[in-house]
Amino acid sequence: MILLLSVIIGLSVIVVFPNFSEAQSELKTFVTHSGKVIRTTGEIIDPLYTVSTVEFDPMEYLRDFDYGEVSMLPDGITVREFTIIAEDDKVMEISPGVFFNVWTYNGAVPGPTIRATEGDIVKINFINNGSKSHTMHFHGIHPAEMDGVFEIVGPGGGQFTYEFEAGPVGIHPYHCHVMPLEEHIVRGLYGVFIVDPKEGREPADEMVMVLNGFDTDFDTENNFYAANTIPFYYQHHPIQINIDELIRVYVLNMVEFDPINNLHLHGNLFDYYPTGTSTEPTFYTDMITLSQTERGIMEFEYKYPGKYLFHAHKVEFSEKGWIGMFLVNDDTEFDESDTEYDR
Ligand SMILES: [Cu+2]
């Protein structure tokens, strides 16, 4: 029995790390995006750093919506004010032992989920505390000078105030738009902007999933993939949901380098609203395909309790971290310590 176990464990190690010894012995030279020449074994960057300066909890991020500081104009229009600080010196342990220099909005990847109602005035006090120029470019409808492309915000405390009317209804990305754009995005300068319809949406257990990846060896291919930054996180910490309760997922694909990403939900189908701009679903499906910055809203409820996977059906991505699990509870009175969600 013990012998059999050892053989099984031995075989699993070979299957999981087929090139481990090869990669260990073979140092390759890479030129980073910023021109630095580094030597690394390949799949995983050498641990140049050993301390994470980013605190990020994917379970907290999942249902954390920032509605800003609310005030009202004399004509009754709601103003939502946000302060967003960009930095580019933070280090995040994106996978055990893999420390990566992320660029952040408000200290995390993704940045905060900014939320407003159609017609609100959104005011973003943007401060660039990084060492490089950065901006915030929102997808949506706004004046040219609020587009975050030509109004470069300089490093070391540069400031800009973005102000525009929230619209159209839907889920939109925001991201830095400074060249080289690829690096400013893949390092982590992105987040979600939700515009709610004035009449609201049906009450639901709402959550945000940003599909992202990290190229930790700078070869313009991702080494890790995830929903909300940390590979395999929701597989090890399943998202608790209730049976027969409407679940609404705002999903955004921010994966660079790979032309497509996708999402498959197990044991169920969902109504899908591309970009969230319509309140009528376009598809009823268990599978969506998303190109860069493509996004939408998924709505579903589970009929049966238990564990259900959701993951990229592009198997390479799911095997490198883009996989998670819903745990459908039969009992609405649950109180699990690994979720902050109170009902
Ligand atoms: Cu930038």
Same domain, 137 and 189: yes
Same domain, 240 and 213: yes
How many angstroms does the Cα of residue 177 sit away from the middle of ligand 1?
Answer: 6
How many angstroms does the Cα of residue 185 sit away from the middle of ligand 1?
Answer: 7
How many angstroms does the Cα of residue 260 sit away from the middle of ligand 1?
Answer: 23
How many angstroms does the Cα of residue 104 sit away from the middle of ligand 1?
Answer: 9
How many angstroms does the Cα of residue 2 sit away from the middle of ligand 1?
Answer: 54
Q: What is the pLDDT of residue 12?
A: 41
Q: Which of 172, 196, 220 is the last residue of a domain?
A: 196
The CA distance from 310 to 325, in Å, is 6
Q: What is the pLDDT of residue 9?
A: 43
The CA distance from 82 to 71, in Å, is 12
How many angstroms does the Cα of residue 5 sit away from the middle of ligand 1?
Answer: 50
What residue numbers bound the domain in which 117 lies? 58-196
Note whether residue 24 is domain-resident. Answer: no
Q: What is the pLDDT of residue 25?
A: 46
How many angstroms does the Cα of residue 289 sit away from the middle of ligand 1?
Answer: 27
How many angstroms does the Cα of residue 253 sit away from the middle of ligand 1?
Answer: 18
The CA distance from 173 to 220, in Å, is 22
Q: Which of 196, 229, 262 is the last residue of a domain?
A: 196
Contact 130, 103 (CB under 8 A): yes
Please tell me the total count of domains within the chain: 2
Same domain, 93 and 183: yes
Note whether residue 84 is domain-resident. Answer: yes
The CA distance from 211 to 295, in Å, is 10
Contact 296, 288 (CB under 8 A): yes
Ranges of residues in the chain whose predicted pLDDT is under 70? 1-50, 332-343
Note whether residue 226 is domain-resident. Answer: yes
Closest among 192, 250, 191, 260 to 225, alpha carbons compared: 260
How many angstroms does the Cα of residue 132 sit away from the middle of ligand 1?
Answer: 7
Same domain, 181 and 289: no
How many angstroms does the Cα of residue 189 sit away from the middle of ligand 1?
Answer: 7
Q: Which of 196, 220, 250 is the last residue of a domain?
A: 196
Burial state string for 73-85 with b = 16 or more CB within 10 A and e = fewer than 16: eeeeebbbebebb
Q: In this structure, are strands 306-311 and 323-329 parallel, antiparallel, or unpaired? A: antiparallel
**Structure tokens that stand for 31 in this block:** 């030129």
Same domain, 189 and 97: yes
pLDDT tens-digit readout, 44-88: 444 455 677 888 999 999 999 999 999 999 999 999 999 999 999
Same domain, 79 and 185: yes
Q: In this structure, are strands 283-285 and 247-253 parallel, antiparallel, or unpaired? A: unpaired
Question: CATH no. for residue 181?
Answer: 2.60.40.420
The CA distance from 132 to 341, in Å, is 37
The CA distance from 156 to 162, in Å, is 19
Note whether residue 274 is domain-resident. Answer: yes
Same domain, 267 and 172: no
How many angstroms does the Cα of residue 197 sit away from the middle of ligand 1?
Answer: 30
Alpha helices in the chain, H assignment, sequence order: 2-16, 20-25, 58-62, 181-186, 233-236, 315-319
pLDDT tens-digit readout, 96-142: 778 889 999 999 999 999 999 999 999 999 999 999 999 999 999 99
Q: Coil, helix or strand for 15?
A: helix
How many angstroms does the Cα of residue 176 sit away from the middle of ligand 1?
Answer: 5
The CA distance from 61 to 39, in Å, is 34
How many angstroms does the Cα of residue 134 sit away from the middle of ligand 1?
Answer: 4
Q: What is the pLDDT of residue 1?
A: 47
How many angstroms does the Cα of residue 306 sit away from the middle of ligand 1?
Answer: 42
Model confidence pTM above 0.75: yes
**Structure tokens that stand for 91 in this block:** 């280090």
Note whether residue 49 is domain-resident. Answer: no
Q: What is the pLDDT of residue 51?
A: 72
Same domain, 224 and 293: yes
Same domain, 209 and 256: yes
Note whether residue 301 is domain-resident. Answer: yes
The CA distance from 126 to 113, in Å, is 15
Same domain, 177 and 212: no
How many angstroms does the Cα of residue 180 sit away from the middle of ligand 1?
Answer: 8
How many angstroms does the Cα of residue 224 sit away from the middle of ligand 1?
Answer: 21
How many angstroms does the Cα of residue 105 sit away from the middle of ligand 1?
Answer: 10
DSSP state of 107: T
Note whether residue 283 is domain-resident. Answer: yes
Q: What is the pLDDT of residue 249?
A: 98
The CA distance from 97 to 140, in Å, is 38
